[in-house]
Structure 1
Amino acid sequence: MSTNGEGEDLQTLHAVDARALPSLFDTVLDQSATGVMVFDEDLRLAYVNEVAARIGGYPADVHIGKRLGDLYPQIATQADPLIAQALAEQETVRNEELVWESPRPPHDRRYWQVTYVPVRSTADLRYAAAIYVETTPVRRAHERLTRLLDALPIFTGMCTPDGLLLEANEATLAATEMSREDVVGFPLWEASWWRDDPAVQVQLREMLTMAQAGQPAREDIDVHLEDGRRRTVDFQLVPIVEHGAVTALVPSATDITERIVERDRLQALASLSRHLNGALTTAQVARLVVANAPAVVDAQFVNVGLLDAERQELRLVQPLMDVDIEDRWGTVPLDGPRTPLHDVLATGRSVLVDREERLARYPELVADTDRVGLDSTAAVPLVDELGEAFGVLGVGWTEPTEFVDEVRLRLDLLADLCSHSLRRAQRTEARDRLVEEMQAEVLAMPDTSRTLDVSLAYEPARGDIGFGGDWYDVIEIDESYTALVVGDVAGHGITAAARMTEAKATIRTLVLNVDHPEVIPAANRSLAHFDSGYIATAAVAWIDDEAKTLEWRLAGHLPPVLRRPEGEAVLLEGCHHPPIGTATEPRAQASIPFPEGSLLVLYTDGLVERRGEDIDVGLERLRSIVDRLPPTCSARDARDSIMAELQLDEREDDVAIVVVRSRAQ
């Protein structure tokens, strides 16, 4: 075949193929379910393929020469402007969504992605081709996913890997009272929820960096709502990884504000409970409740009223407020104007009111509660073991409060805790009063002597019943002769206190009736009859104020401190006996001068002993304090100085002390 012949054959073949191309394209488009409509410059249909005809429900030839609105008026309003735009601008308009209801059963809504392409014919005529692909399955899947996400109670959405927010579910929008336009399209850290919080923005950027690296990030973050409220969310940023690359980020958040509030309430309740465990008096309990209880019930005001049945009044402990209000409500007479406090005591039931109801039921209160800034208030009974009200817990909120079951339960729980603590404190105070009366009886004697300047003190061990095994005694034998005693029975509590009274009475009797050397041995024999395990120490000093002499004996006891006018303070060693409760025989005793101005200090070991410290250190500390006392100080001033410097508030043992000073006759 000649070369020219080959060229002519190829041209003929190409011409045949070109004539076959339209049908070939139709076949391809039909197989791909792609619809094509071609419009002329008058927006009339010039071509419709079979896919488009089947979709519309009309034969293809019916479409030719008609406008879109003649057959499909529901979509003409969407499509005609875009067709006209493509014709006028001769630019492709891509990926526009078209929504319509199918004219064929089941007449459901369907979705199409349409591209409008300008086409120029060989005759230089302008056309626009609408090429559309159905996206209904994808769109419906997207809608189902959207409905699912919108139904979730958590806040969630979708971001680009760079953090641009593409979607936010309904929970996010509803909680923040925003539309999608307010949040979609913004970088995540610039969303209005935290755009005014630089610290949170930094936190979000750090989380974004972690998520971009393929690592999930999780933090608690504060969210600021449009109405000024502030919520705390458990915020997570999870990367979507495809083929080893992060293609999207899924932010999600769960509102944990109430969980945190409840945690804070429980922490406040636990803190209040710990503080109340250390409170020993009703005043301490009431002050702790007033200061710490508001956080337990999200309130701004708490007071405690305690019934004084004898005076027929309610005594209130409350936070600081205007002086005239404090004066007016410091005590509430039971026969005074009716208040919620009166109703609680009368009925034993809580009174929970808002401002409107308070105005109707308790008009006398409204002016003062308004000054304090209270809206809703609650008065809850404080009851004893028999269920009788002995006080009232008052609670106030500056905002309206709904008294739902949860709030009532917290109020009852707080009132129970307060009731138990107050009743324990009341029992402690009653016990302390009894102890004080017993101690006053056992250690009763004035800080005076006919011939000597004497000062006495007793301090019980911290946390003990109020008195124990330590005692003191001043025994005036005759007009010039005085015996001084301090002693310490081993142990604490009731047993030690009982033994102490025996020892005190025994030694007093012996001092008045036997010779000095016999006092300790006789006490040992006498007290052994009471208890075979009896152990006690004692220091006994005799002062002859006429002769100005001092004698002493120590039964296992620490040495007294003596300071004469002309010298330094010294520890009086010698004249030792074993402790009472062990066998002992009479021993010699010393007699030394005790001139005018001399100072003698007798004490029990609680004054000088410290945990982990050698006793000699404590003795030297006491001696040094006595040595520094002014030469002319009184016995009382000396006692007070000694006890202040030795910080007896931190004591772990009982302390008894006798300070005596020789004075001019």
Structure 2
Amino acid sequence: MGTPSVHFSESPEDPFAIGRGASAALDGQGTVVGWSARAQELLGYPAKEVIGRAWQDLLVDARDLPVARSVVVDAMRTGGWFGVLPIRHRDGRRVEMGFRARAITRDGDRQEWILVGAPAAEVSAWQRDRALLDGLYRRSPIGLVTYGPDRKVIRVNRAVAKASGVPAEAPVGRRPREFMVDEDAGPAEERVRHVLETGEPLIFTEQSARARHDPGRERIVSVSAFRMEDSSGRVLGVAETIEDVTARHRGRRRLALLNEASARIGTSLDVTQTARELAEVAVDGLADYCSVDLLKPVTQGDELGWDTSGQLLRAALSPPEHRVPFQEGEVVPLLPGSPQARCLSERRPVLEGLLRLRPEWYAMDRRRLEIALGLGVHSLIAVPLVARGLVLGVVSLWRSRHSEPFEEDDAAVAQELSSRAAVCIDNARRFTEQQNAALTLQRSLLPSAASDLPAVEVACRYLPASGEPGIGGDWFDVIPLSGNRVALVVGDVVGHGIHAAASMGRLRAAVRTLASLDLEPDEVVARLDDLVSLLAGELEANTDGNGSAIEQMIGATCVYAVYDPVSRHCSLARAGHPAPVVTTPDGQVTVLDLPAGPPLGLGGLPFETYDLDLPEGSLLTLYTNGLLEARNGDIDAALDHLHECLAHSADPLDSTCHAVVEALLPKEHLPTDDIALLIARTRVLPPENVASWQLPLEATAAARARQLTTAKLTEWGLPELAFTTELVASELVTNAYRYAAGPVTLRLIRTHCLLCEVSDTSHTSPHLRRALSTDEGGRGLFLVAQLTERWGTRYTHDGKTVWTEQHLPHA
């Protein structure tokens, strides 16, 4: 026997409802006394064939009689029955029917039975729907809320009640804004209104949900909603399913935070900036407040040891509130027992879930204590910053009044975040350490502030590059020469780092050595070029092919100038360096058109000397290319700014130097290349401080030199130097008479010392030697060297000059 096929709608209706169920009436003996049209439709029996007959004889197959009798017994005992019973169709088929039987009493004592039946398949489907609905409201872990057409809650299931912590009947008859926090209720009401008006379902929409009775507890829920309608299309309300996805949402947020941290932390090699980036990332995704406290050696780029009990400095704080116990740059005292102290000693995160702030942990004064208590902090995670086995400091994450306490998962994320940041901070510390070493090396190789010289007044600036490129190889020098002359030099070794600083030191030492030989500027640059080529060859042979160091050495440039305050003559030569700028006292600014020459170390091309006379009070400005390239790389605009600043030649020299730096350097960023700037204001020795005589080359020249010297020193008020200077002048003139040809020039110069110079047309250099006891001569230069502070020889195109220096008595 088969069962009739049943077609279901998407939402089966009650099969026992009026008009859908088959109904029959039986008297107390089981005789059919009533039969509906639906019963005839389902079982095939017309009413006239059924009424008056016993239902067991007509509707029950013989093999099902035992079951039928058992049903009758149960019904008589309980006064009703519900279940499935096989019924014989008029055509002989067995049809599974579901029945509801209920006994009723008529006329006080007459009992009858009302039966309502439907195909068993429809009954089963209806029962499943009822079981599903019951499960949704009573046992489902997913929340269910139904709203009426007025957008008020009709019913919530137990999952919603359990998650919200309020009885299931509490929200009934209320709108979301009456039991949810305002910022969360708005989207909820708008969602219900939209579904009611449009009929468009919403699927898996995530939003925040917080109840008014517990506003600090935030939950992230996934909401799906659809409109409920009856069979006629009448809107009955909206049903929402709500799933708590807080854990999943926080997990995604933590992963996103770690991913974001990789991009945002470590953008520079500055320790403080990296600490700020860590604090900002932590506040954006994990905490209300974050402080990063580093051991003092870390902030200074010093070497670290294994001791973690050193002084902690607050390196970063986010958000940068004004009212916090300790600001950036302040020392943060921690006493034993504090979470941060335990974190550092144990090298593990410390979570304080319900923190009761203890002032003794931080040795706070009353003012700081009041500030701390005002923050309302209730939860803390302290995480050590450890990189390469060394402790760098501690990160403190704080949550205050309106946030939930930290969880263990938050501590794990904080540890991962801090571990990544610690490597970046340690990289920045190591870079700072290297930069400090290079800067210390470079500053030790640069000259100290130039002293007051008779030839020039000098102002200078050296500005190292910013942290990223590293220390460069720019340098300057002011070198006193014989005859009160002065050499001014500015140079640039390309590249950055220790190699550039070391190469700069070598070149500066070489320039000073060459300057002491009193060579012409083109000769100094040419010999420096030879030296660079030699050093580059040594580097190539001894540094395992360190190409960068060789390129730095060969890429060096410089400009070398010599100024004579007696003649006002200035000679310059350069090797691939920016041309100097001259400013005359009337404010006219000119870029000198001296031959550029190749950079040092290329070889093969000659260098040329450029000569000019400078009026007293002129400015000679030498600089490296970093000065012109610091602001946007616009060389022409930078030169215009430089000319404007130098046009005020009468201003104090240090003010002019400061104005140039302010005009050409961007205020918001450090330069990307080193900058060396040297400005010299020329001086001229007063004519009364210089005496010069041309002596004929004859036997009386030495005696004449002694007479002139004694007379001039008496005139200058220096009679105590007369004897010594007479002897010096006599010996030098005598040497010229013996070994040179042509006239001899004697010159005395009085400045901070007394200079005696004897010039002749010979290029033969005198040599100091010790005479034997049997020698009749050869002791002249020895006596000169003993009686003077310094002596030497310089060569010119026309001959040579032998000079000596003596201290003045009052000096």
SS of the equivalent of 1:298 reads: coil
| Aligned mates of 2:572, 2:360 — CA distance in 1 | 75
Contact 1:269 1:296 in 2 (8 A): no
Specify whether residues 165 and 526 from structure 1 end up closer, same or farther in structure 2 by C-alpha distance, changes over 3 A only. same
- 1:541-562 Cα offsets, whole Å, 9 max, x none, are 2222333343322322222222
Aligned to 1:577: 597
Q: Report SS of the residue matched to 1:332.
A: coil
Partner of 1:174: 162
Q: How much has 1:286 moved relative to structure 2? A: 4.0
Residue in structure 2 matched with residue 434 of structure 1 by the alignment = 437
Name the structure 2 match of 1:641: 659
Partner of 1:448: 451
State how far apart, in whole Å, the 1-side matches of 2:207 and 2:354 are. Answer: 36
How do 1:151-300 and structure 2 match up within 5 A?
Answer: 151-156=139-144, 168-177=156-165, 192-193=179-180, 197-198=185-186, 200-210=188-198, 212=199, 219-227=205-213, 228=215, 229-238=217-226, 251-298=240-287, 300=289
Give the letter aligned to residue 392 of structure 1.
Answer: V
- Contact 1:220–1:232 (Cα < 8 Å) also in 2: yes
The letter for the 1-side match of 2:533 is: A
The CA distance in 1 between the partners of 2:621 and 2:230, in whole Å, is: 89
Paired residue type of 1:276: I
Residue 148 of structure 1 and its aligned partner are, at CA, apart by 5.2
Of 275, 293, 312, which aligns to 1:315? 312
Q: Deviations over 1:462-492 (max 9, x none)?
A: 3446422322222111363111111223333
Partner of 1:576: helix, strand, or coil?
coil
How far apart, CA to CA, are the structure 2 residues paired with 1:585 and 1:471?
23
> Who is 2:693 aligned against?
none
Matched residue, 2:331: 330
Alpha-carbon distance in structure 1 between the residues aligned to 2:398 and 2:520? 72
Give the distance between the partners of 1:402 and 1:160, measured in 2 at CA: 37
* Aligned counterpart, 2:462: 458
What's the secondary structure of 2:377's corresponding residue?
coil
Whether the 8 Å CA contact 2:493–2:500 is kept in 1: the answer is yes
Q: Partner of 2:692 in structure 1?
A: none
What is aligned with 1:393?
A: 395
* 8 Å Cα contact 2:257/2:285 also seen in 1: yes
* Matched-pair contact (CA < 8 Å) for 2:458–2:680: yes
Could you say if the C-alpha distance between residues 380 and 445 of structure 1 is closer, same or farther in structure 2, counting changes exceeding 3 Å? Answer: same
Residue 778 of structure 2 is matched in structure 1 by none
Between 165-174 and 395-404, the greater mean CA deviation after superposition:
395-404
> What is aligned with 1:525?
530
CA contact (8 A) 1:524 1:584 kept: no
Structure 1 CA distance for aligned equivalents of residues 678 and 128 of structure 2: 97
Instruction: Check the 8 A contact 2:278/2:421 in 1, yes or no.
Output: yes
Distance 1:31 1:153, change over 3 A: same
Q: Point out the structure with the larger helix share.
A: 1
Letter in 2 for 1:554: R
- Output one character per residue of 1:318-374: Cα deviation in whole Å (capped at 9) or x when no partner: 7567687779993438xx665444444444455444668987996978994656533
Residue 543 and residue 223 in structure 1: after superposition, are their counterparts in 2 closer, same or farther (change >3 A)?
same
**Which letter maps to 1:441?**
S
How far apart are 1:434 and its partner, in Å?
1.0
Provide closer, same or farther for how the CA distance between residues 549 and 364 of structure 1 changes in structure 2, counting only shifts above 3 A. Answer: closer
The alpha-carbon deviation at position 566 of structure 1 amounts to 0.6
Q: Deviations over 1:245-276 (max 9, x none)?
A: 89886533333444444444445445555443
Asked if 1:606 is matched to 2:630, the reply is no
In structure 2, C-alpha distance between the alignment counterparts of 1:133 and 1:539, rounded to whole Å = 115
> Would the aligned equivalents of 1:313 and 1:332 in 2 still touch at CA under 8 Å?
no
One-letter code of the match for 1:26? G
Q: Is 2:512 the counterpart of 1:508?
A: yes
CA change 1:544–1:254 in 2 (3 A) is farther
Residue in 1 aligned with 2:411? 408
Corresponding residue for residue 777 of structure 2 = none
What count of residue pairs does the alignment treat as equivalent?
A: 575
Provide the rounded CA distance (Å) in 2 between the counterparts of 1:59 and 1:615.
108
Aligned counterpart, 2:611 = 590
Moved more, 419-428 or 232-241: 232-241
CA, structure 1 residues 28+484, in 2 after alignment: closer, same or farther (shift >3 Å)? same
Contact 2:313 2:329 in 1 (8 A): no
> Who is 2:492 aligned against?
488
- TM-score (norm. length: structure 1): 0.70
Whether 1:547 and 2:567 are equivalent positions in the alignment is yes
Which amino acid in structure 2 is aligned with residue 475 of structure 1?
I
- CA change 1:404–1:216 in 2 (3 A) is closer
Contact 1:177-1:226 at 8 Å conserved across structures: no
Matched position secondary structure for 1:225: coil
Q: CA deviation at 1:439?
A: 0.7
Distance in 1 between residues matched to 2:502 and 2:359, nearest whole Å: 61
1:442 maps to a residue whose letter is L
Counterpart contact for 1:535–1:582, Cα < 8 Å: no
Amino acid at match of 1:455: A
Q: Which amino acid aligns with 1:154?
A: I
Secondary structure, aligned partner of 1:500: helix
Query: Given that residues 483 and 543 in structure 1 are in contact (C-alpha distance below 8 angstroms), is that contact kept between their aligned partners in structure 2?
Result: yes
Which residue pairs with 1:44 in the alignment?
A: none
Other-structure match for 2:789: none
| Whole-angstrom distance in 1 between the partners of 2:72 and 2:588 | 125
TM-score (norm 2): 0.58
Secondary structure of 2:396's match?
A: strand
| 1:7-58 Cα distance to aligned partner (Å, 9 max, x none) | xxxxxxxxxxxxxxx9997122793899xxxxxxxxxxxxxx989x999958
Of the structure 1 ranges 409-418 and 151-160, higher mean CA displacement relative to structure 2 is found in 151-160
**In the alignment, which residue of structure 2 is the partner of 1:302?**
291
User: Shift of the alpha carbon at 1:658?
Assistant: 1.2
**Inter-partner Cα distance in structure 1 for 2:348 and 2:73:** 80
Q: For the residues of structure 1 that align with 2:671 and 2:364, how far apart are their CA atoms? A: 48
Is 1:146 the counterpart of 2:134? The answer is yes
Does structure 1 retain, via aligned residues, the 8 Å contact 2:577–2:599?
yes
The alpha-carbon deviation at position 152 of structure 1 amounts to 4.2
| Alignment RMSD | 5.2
2:674 equivalent in structure 1: 654
Q: Flag the 1:363–1:471 CA change in 2: closer, same or farther, 3 A.
A: closer
Q: 1:633 to 1:338 in 2, by over 3 A?
A: farther
Q: 1:384 to 1:476 in 2, by over 3 A?
A: same
8 Å contact kept, 2:491–2:556: yes
Q: Does the 8 Å contact 1:55/1:102 carry over to 2?
A: no
Give the number of the structure whose alpha-carbon radius of gyration is greater: 2
Aligned to 2:333, the other structure's residue is in SS state: strand
Residue type at the aligned position of 2:312: R
Which stretch has the larger CA shift, 537-546 or 373-382?
373-382
Which ranges in structure 1 are unaligned for 5 or more consecutive residues? 1-21, 35-48, 63-70, 76-99, 122-128
Q: How does 1:63-142 map to 2 (within 5 A)?
A: 133=116, 137=124, 138-139=126-127, 141-142=129-130
Do the aligned residues in 1 keep the contact of 2:460 with 2:677 (CA within 8 Å)?
yes
Once residues 345 and 406 of structure 1 are traced to their aligned partners in structure 2, the CA distance between those partners, rounded to angstroms, is 20
Q: State the distance in 1 between where 2:180 and 2:325 align.
A: 45
SS in 2 for 1:531: helix
Contact 2:353–2:379 (8 Å) recurs in 1: yes
| 1:566 aligned partner | 586
Distance in 2 separating the partners of 1:314 and 1:241: 71
SS at match of 2:536: coil
> Is this contact kept in 2: 1:457–1:658, CA < 8 A?
yes
Alpha-carbon deviation of 1:142?
1.2
Q: Note if contact 1:339-1:365 (Cα within 8 Å) is conserved in structure 2.
A: no
Distance 1:512 1:157, change over 3 A: same
**d(CA) in 2 for partners of 1:328, 1:562:** 45
Say whether the 8 Å CA contact 2:202–2:225 is kept in structure 1: yes
Task: Assess if the C-alpha contact under 8 Å between 2:466 and 2:672 holds in 1.
Answer: yes
